[in-house]
Structure 1
Amino acid sequence: PCSPYASSCLCVCCPKIKQSTGTRIMYALYFLLVTIICAIMMSPTVEQEMRNNIPFYSDLCEKLNAGENCKTLVGYSAVYKVCFGMACFFFFFFIFTLRVNNSTGCRAAIHNGFWLLKFIGLVACCAAGFFLPEEETFLEVWRYVGAVGGFIFLLIQLMLLVEFAHRWNTNWSSGVKYNRLWYAALALVTLVLFSVAVGAVAFMGLFYTHPEACLLNKIFLGINASLCLIVSLLAISPFIQKLQPTSGLLQPAVISVYVMYLTFSAFSSKPKEMVEKDGVNMTVCVFPFNSGTESDKKIVTIVGTIILFGCVLYSCLTSTTRRSSAALRVCRNNCPSNILFMCHPDDYDEEKTGSGQNVVYDEREGTIYSYAYFHFVFFLGSLYVMMTVTNWFHYDDHKIEKLLEGSWSVFWIKMASCWVCLILYMWTLIAPMVCPKRFEA
């Protein structure tokens, strides 16, 4: 359990794994475990089930000094304390791994192993949050720290998406030189993505607008759809094509789908609006499957939660590689240009770790990713999860079952994310014109 190799604890029947990949997976599992605990802490349903099914639950809570029915271990304040511990854990390793450039040193060995000791350290950090003095002051200050860190994490997500769109288009466009089928694949995927974006606009126009209400929805849907059209035309304009021959419609298609998703998510997060019709108050501009039975609401919440945490983990892992978001791994930059689509991973030393699976030591000559930046992204991810699970600044009486229900703070954060994403993509298009010397190479 204290081995310096993450993969040594896995079974022999598993396929071989790179040391760098195994390490990141282990940290991701730690992150996911704490995230699940936070979701449980925000769920009154889980709390009630524990109270009903755990013998001597009340006595156990009293022995743990957790208050009546473990009240201090649930709610937004408990999530803040647990996420504070996880953030401290990753921030410590961020400082600890600064300027680590190879995997042979002591600090690199600690980063890549000693998992049981690090797990104990993570648990200790999370538990220590419950013993902090001046609880009210801590919660107030930490809330604003979390908001800043969460917004920075959102920016990293958006930059990752823009980079992904450019790499995907560049890689598939390069393949056209060797096989015309790649051109057909490029056209098909672009058509599908634009169809999804247009369908999303029609869907939101049907369900999230109303003749007598939802003025903001109408305005922002029109603005965001128009901006997506503008960036699409800009991407294929002659002066952009001259500066960036690989620019095409795939990038704006990816951006448009994501912007429509954020717009839909923002509309779903907005407080519900009521309209009086025939003397009866009716809720309008809501997701059709989130306004009916309780089972529908639970399904929507579960799916939304899985998507949310999946995006967080994906952003944490892919944004920390040196070749972050290598789109679909169609080609590798270190391969000769004449075999773009027949590349194989580099031949690394392979070692059998006892009864475990084969480990490929891919960091003998240098680190594959920045250890410090990796931990810093997970630090920001901890803050983002904390703010999201507690509904940002609308934390009073919030619970995980209401994750997709409305609040203005979430609405404006997601709407601002749409515009930041579009601005970032526009900048990548016009930057060669504004700073030509930087892009001559």
Structure 2
Amino acid sequence: MCTPCCVSQLACCCGSAACSCCCNCCPKIKQSTGTRFMYALYFLMVTVICIIMMSPTVEDEMKLRIPYYNKMCEKMTAGENCKKLVGYSAVYKMCFGMACFFFFFFIITFRINNSTGCRAAIHNGFWLLKFILLVGCCAGAFYLPQQDTFLEIWRYIGAVGGGFFLVIQLMLLVEFAHRWNTNWSSGVKYNRLWYAALAFVTLVLFSVAVGAVVFMGVFYTHPEACLYNKIFLGINGSLCLIVSLLAISPFIQKLQPKSGLLQPGVISVYVMYLTFSAFSSKPTEFIEIDGKNKTVCVFPFNSGQESDKKIVTAIGTVILFACIIYSCLTSTTRRSSAALRVYRDSEPEIERARCCFCCGDDTEDTDEEKTGSGQNVLYDEQEATIYSYSYFHFVFFLGSLYVMMTVTNWFHYDNHNIEELLEGSWSVFWIKMVSCWVCLFLYIVTLVAPMICPKRFEA
């Protein structure tokens, strides 16, 4: 029974057909969704390899468990103990290859309006050949000449591109909050339970945000130290309160009746996470107590100095993957593209409330077709493309640069490793703190923009 399914998957990888991703026992999948899923899978694979390359623990385990490790490294011309294959320089080269891969597809898919052409077929199929191309791009980056000059220049290019992706990520977070509120609010007139769910989630979000403020106020401030922590905690907490009151103010409600407390709740929780992450990323502070230097403003439980780093790293890794995948997969839909242009009346008139609202598609179902004996593929782009192919690849290109800068701790990358990803870096502290303000600013813009440019928001 598995043979026909395997054959269909091989045909999907080698040909121009849409990838069905699994066997026929799984639910149907749309052609556009399957394509984006496959590119996201490639993206995640390279990201995981980059994280492994930055881990000295993995390097030590390879030395112990792989026989003739040093000789193998010499034959591969990878330097002593394969030094060329680990560390920040290896991550830069891997991400350079992945960025070139997506930039190449950005060029060849430019201005594609339908899925019947040759370029569209390349975008939607030939997965095995594209995998080989991706491996070739990443491997070829290790043979670039004048690597010191390349690393220095590529670092600044990565910082600019990663910054642009961070802005897109924050804009999509704001769009996510608006879409969540709009979707659940649409179900209130049919079932009052949606109103209860909306109220419950809003209450939980604000409870988490207020709890985070209290937690950081107690454990991340000190009467004689941590001045930055006290100032920025007060500023960010006050800004979250201001945007919450602004969202339910009468003049905002008049222009945007669906504006409520759910959106500022989502924004407040994310801002508090970034604030906590920034405090944990700041270099450790010491004060003298009874003639001894004591560490202050650190995580209060377990080992104190290291627990907050591990927790932030774990949470940050999950959020990193979630934000990158959500950004890359949704930034090219019609709804999200409108949000990136700050249109707020882009939602369809008929909105069906559902728990997994973010998994909805922009198009209605069309006739379904089968890919061999595999999973049913719904060809939803027969008349026209439902998202911009070139913009999709450009977002992945920026995402590659963002991953490169995040994994190597932005500008402080020398002798760095993944186990100490957030160890005392002022650059990470300021990037995350500025991200808080940008996120709040973008949300305020979506609230006040209809008053400034009313014609732009007319249906």
Per the alignment, residue 353 of structure 1 pairs with 371
2:381 aligned to which of 363, 370, 380: 363
Q: How many residues align?
A: 436
Q: 2: CA distance between counterparts of 1:168 and 1:242?
A: 20
- Partner residue, 1:23: 35
- Indicate the residue corresponding to 2:295 in structure 1: 283
The structure-2 alpha-carbon separation of the partners of 1:349 and 1:298, relative to structure 1 and needing over 3 Å to count, comes to same
Partner of 1:229: 241
In the TM superposition, residue 239 of structure 1 has moved relative to its aligned partner by: 1.4
Is the 8 Å Cα contact of residues 19 and 125 (structure 2) preserved in structure 1? Answer: no
Report SS of the residue matched to 1:323: helix
Contact 2:162/2:399 (8 A) holds in 1: yes
Counterpart residue number, 2:415 = 397
Distance 1:296 1:266 in 2: 11
The one-letter code matched in structure 2 to 1:25 is F
Q: Give 1:175's match in structure 2, choosing from 184, 187, 205.
A: 187
Match of 1:32 among 26, 29, 44: 44
Question: 1:215 and 2:227 equivalent?
Answer: yes
**What letter is aligned with 1:435?**
C
Q: Are the aligned partners of 2:184 and 2:354 in contact in 1 as well (CA < 8 Å)?
A: no
Pair 240,219 (structure 1): closer, same or farther in 2 beyond 3 Å: same
SS at match of 1:404: coil
Does residue 29 of structure 2 align to residue 56 of structure 1?
A: no
Structure 1 residue aligned with 2:316: 304
Please tell me whether the aligned partners of residues 301 and 403 of structure 1 are also in contact (alpha carbons under 8 angstroms): yes
Shift of 1:145: 0.5
SS at match of 2:413: coil
The C-alpha deviation readout for 1:48-74, integer Å capped at 9, x for no partner, is: 101111111111111111011111111
Query: Corresponding residue for 2:424?
Result: 406
Find the aligned partners of 1:252 and 1:236 in 2 and give their Cα distance: 10
The 1:241–1:295 alpha-carbon spacing in structure 2 relative to 1, beyond 3 Å, is closer
Point out the more displaced range, 28-37 or 176-185.
176-185
Q: Aligned pair in 2 of structure 1 residues 273, 167: CA closer, same or farther (>3 Å)?
A: same
Structure 2: distance between partners of 1:276 and 1:425: 42
- Provide the C-alpha distance between the structure 2 equivalents of 1:282 and 1:216, rounded to a whole number of angstroms: 18
| TM-score (normalizing by structure 2) | 0.89
Match of 1:92 in 2: 104
**1:439 aligns to 2:451 (yes or no):** no
Of the structure 1 ranges 179-188 and 193-202, higher mean CA displacement relative to structure 2 is found in 179-188
* Matching residue of 2:122: 110
- Pair 1:333–1:158, CA change in 2 (3 A): closer
How far residue 397 of structure 1 moved from its aligned partner, in angstroms, is 1.1
Instruction: Give the aligned partner of residue 197 of structure 2.
Output: 185
Counterpart residue type for residue 412 of structure 1: W
Does the aligned pair in 2 maintain the 1:289–1:297 contact within 8 Å? no
Which residue matches 1:422?
Answer: 440
Indicate how the Cα distance of structure 1 residues 290 and 215 shifts in structure 2: closer, same or farther if over 3 A, else same: farther
Residue 384 of structure 1: aligned partner? 402
CA distance in 2, matches of 1:376, 1:125: 17
Task: Work out the CA distance in 1 between the residues paired with 2:306 and 2:49.
Answer: 24
Does the C-alpha gap of structure 1 residues 415 and 296 become closer, same or farther in structure 2, counting only changes over 3 Å?
Answer: closer
Q: CA–CA distance in 1 between the matches of 2:230 and 2:311? A: 27
How far 1:125 moved relative to its partner? 0.6
**Counterpart of 1:10 in 2: which secondary structure?**
coil
Whole-angstrom CA distance in 1 between matches of 2:399 and 2:302: 28
Give distance in 2, aligned partners of 1:263 and 1:9. Answer: 39
Q: SS at 1:314's partner residue?
A: helix
- Aligned-pair CA distance for 1:175: 2.2
Residue 331 (structure 2) aligned to one of 313, 319, 330: 319
SS of the aligned residue for 2:180 comes to: helix
- Aligned partner of 1:157 in structure 2 is 169
Aligned partners of 1:34, 1:43: CA distance in 2, in Å? 15
- How far is 1:176 from its partner? 2.1
State the Cα distance separating 1:298 from its structure 2 match.
5.3
Asked if 1 retains the 8 angstrom alpha-carbon contact of 2:299 and 2:305, the reply is no
Please give the per-residue CA displacement for 1:275-312, whole angstroms capped at 9, x wherever unaligned: 22122212111223574597986566444323322322
Contact 1:160 1:325 survives alignment (8 Å): no
> Which of 6, 17, 30 in structure 2 is aligned with 1:5?
17
Instruction: Tell me how far apart the structure 1 counterparts of residues 74 and 134 of structure 2 sit (CA, whole Å).
Output: 24
**Amino acid across the alignment from 2:325:** L
Equivalent-residue separation in structure 2 for 1:25 and 1:418 (angstroms): 29
- The DSSP-based 3-state class of the residue aligned with 2:67 is coil
TM-score, normalization by structure 1 = 0.93
1:136 matched to 2:148? The reply is yes
Q: Is the 8 A contact 1:7 1:17 kept in 2?
A: no
Amino acid at match of 1:358: N
RMSD: 2.4
Q: Is the contact made by 1:289 and 1:300 (CA closer than 8 Å) also made in structure 2?
A: no
Structure 2: which 5+ runs fail to align? 1-12, 340-345
Q: For 1:150 and 1:37, how far apart are their aligned partners in 2?
A: 19
